Amino acid sequence: MLNPPAVTAQAPARTAAIWAALDPLVTAGPPLRVLDLGGGSGMFAVPLAQLGHQLTVVDPSADALATLHRRAAAAGAGEQVRGIQGDGDRMLAALPEGDLFDLVLCHFVLEVVDDPASTLAQIAGVLRPGGQLSIASANRAGAVLARAVGGHPVEARALLADRDPAPARSGPARRRFSPEELLSLLAAAGLEPGEWRGVSVVADLLGASSGADQAALRTLELALAEASPYRDVATGLHVLATRP
């Protein structure tokens, strides 16, 4: 049995709601096989590996995976982490055939994949029955508010209509989702979504240089994460969904 302290108390305020949802899954019971899709340099993977779980991280960036392995080794969890170069649209091709996982993390990946529905269907295919998906995505309402507060009302209006807020900039526009859209995508993939939370209700608005007491800010984020109307304007959305 794993018996570490809860990780939420050490989490950054902006991701405290995600860690709070994961805590019951990752701090009790036997070690889990975890897939972190788009996990990059290991912000979630390394702490989970330190708790004793087996991590597979799929990410398109070789540099990010190299950082992941350095961080895992420095944390004494190098043997718990496997990095595979690949992207979310073709994750099944990147993974060994027959790999199944108890928990999949897909945090802020749906915004950039070619087809979110296909990515979620692939995730459902690698979850064991009863396994869970931790999904986080950008919240359209939060993006509208952030652009407006930042002094960009034209971009805010574009986001409100689900249009590219800055088409003159290089690179494809990122998707944003409403809670209803995210829950519908999960259900269409054959997953059973739970209650949604807001991620970074106020932390991103305050910014890293605000000087706010981080413990107090973390406590506030957790209080707001499940309460409307506050969660409705958070930077991100988070849902735990289960494969039947």
What is the CA 88 to chain-centroid distance, rounded? Answer: 13
Closest to 91 measured CA to CA, from 10, 36, 21: 36
pLDDT for 49-84, tens place per residue? 999 999 999 999 999 999 999 999 999 999 999 999
Predicted model pTM? 0.92
pLDDT for 22-55, tens place per residue? 999 999 889 999 999 999 889 999 999 999 999 9
What average pLDDT does the segment 1-14 reach? 62
Tokens of 65: 């995976």
Tokens of 34: 């975890």
User: In the prediction, which pLDDT does 5 show?
Assistant: 42
76: region left, alpha or beta (phi > 0 left; psi from -120 to 50 alpha): left
